[in-house]
Amino acid sequence: NSQKIGFIGLGRMGLPMMTNLLRSGWQVHVFDTSADACSAAQALGAIVEQSVQAVADSAETVMLSLPTPAIVESVLSQLVNGKQVSRVIDLSTIGIRAARRAQEIVSKHDIHWIEAPVSGGVTGASAGTLTLMVSCPAVLREAIEPVLRALGTVMYAGEAPGLAQAAKLANNMLSAAALVASSEAISMAVKAGVEPTALLGIINSSSGRNTATTHKIPNEVLSRRFQVGFANKLSHKDVTLCIEEAASMGIPMPVSVAIREMLAITTATFGDNADISDVARVLEQWSGI
């Protein structure tokens, strides 16, 4: 396999995903605004381009792994002028309406829009075991599956633009809710005197078990490492998108609103670079444990 692929956004998720493409034999043309990210990719064997458009001049399929909807839109406005690009696979979490707008922008230039937001974190990105939530016209599936399978398991959310994003926002709201709620519940029991490891053992063989109690809290909070590798700021973006998309459909989301508030407090307390697991430290401070 010596086919070319473009990859823009070499961050916590992008760099390990790009690495798996190299391992599967793709020739990867990359760009990131961070020079450090580009050097890291070059050291792994990628071809570094000097701009978004240069990537789109080099490869038919271009993948994006970018932080926010606004950044995806700005990158797309440069990418559509590329000479080779005919497909964009967006791995970022940008929400339903931004994905629909993106599809409209690229389709004016005869470029196909494939939505493929991912779940599984930095660990899943490195291991090639992500869940890829995909929406695109069914006729494109055969062409894109080889590249997507290098990153993990492909699961279809439907054909229309926005559907994979809707599934992704639902998942991420639940994932954030599990972490916030678990941190709150655990702070109560630990303050009362239960030893944390014993408590997690009890919860994990009982009905409160979830991805925070089985993984994030034992691995990153009890170890005092606080490095899940998912920025608190990005989780706040996801929950905000979830609330905004729901509001546009007339659905109130009181639980999501409370979660967003906790994530905002975490940023206010631990700064812009806080990890999602820092939310547990807010509860620790409040309870004095």
The residue from 71, 105, 143, 185 that contacts ligand NAD (CB under 6 A) is 71
Nearest to 21 by CA among 36, 4, 43, 38: 4
The residue from 54, 122, 185, 202 that contacts ligand NAD (CB under 6 A) is 122
- Select from 53-61, 206-214, 223-231, 244-252 the region that touches ligand NAD (CB under 6 A): 223-231
- Per CB under 6 A, 88 contacts ligand NAD: no
Secondary structure (H, E, C), the chain: CCCEEEEECCCCCHHHHHHHHHHCCCEEEEECCCHHHHHHHHHHCCEECCCHHHHHHHCCEEEECCCCHHHHHHHHHHHCCCCCCCEEEECCCCCHHHHHHHHHHHHCCCCEEEECCEECHHHHHHHCCEEEEEECCHHHHHHHHHHHHCCEEEEEEECCCCHHHHHHHHHHHHHHHHHHHHHHHHHHHHHHCCCHHHHHHHHHCCCCCCHHHHHHHHHHHCCCCCCCCCEHHHHHHHHHHHHHHHHHCCCCCHHHHHHHHHHHHHHHHHCCCCECCHHHHHHHHHHCC
Catalytic site includes residue 4? no
The C-alpha atoms of residue 155 and residue 152 are separated, in whole angstroms, by 10
The residue from 12, 97, 191, 209 that contacts ligand NAD (CB under 6 A) is 12
The residue from 158, 196, 208, 229 that contacts ligand NAD (CB under 6 A) is 229
- Select from 39-47, 59-67, 95-103, 198-206 the region that touches ligand NAD (CB under 6 A): 59-67
Which of residues 183 and 235 has its CB atom nearest to ligand NAD in the complex? 235
Options 83, 108, 168, 237, the catalytic residue: 168
Q: Which amino acid is at 188?
A: M
Total of residues contacting ligand NAD (CB under 6 A): 28
- Per CB under 6 A, 210 contacts ligand NAD: no
* Nearest approach, Cβ of residue 234 and ligand NAD (Å): 4
Which of residues 11 and 82 has its CB atom nearest to ligand NAD in the complex? 11
* Nearest approach, Cβ of residue 108 and ligand NAD (Å): 21
> Is the dihedral angle over the CA atoms 274, 275, 280, 281 positive or is it negative?
negative
- Select from 2-10, 22-30, 153-161, 183-191 the region that touches ligand NAD (CB under 6 A): 2-10
* Nearest approach, Cβ of residue 121 and ligand NAD (Å): 4
* Nearest approach, Cβ of residue 97 and ligand NAD (Å): 15
- Per CB under 6 A, 230 contacts ligand NAD: yes
The residue from 6, 67, 82, 161 that contacts ligand NAD (CB under 6 A) is 67
The C-alpha atoms of residue 180 and residue 175 are separated, in whole angstroms, by 9
> Active-site residue numbers?
168
Footprint of ligand NAD (CB under 6 A): 8-14, 31-34, 37, 65-67, 71, 74-75, 92-93, 118-119, 121-122, 229-231, 234
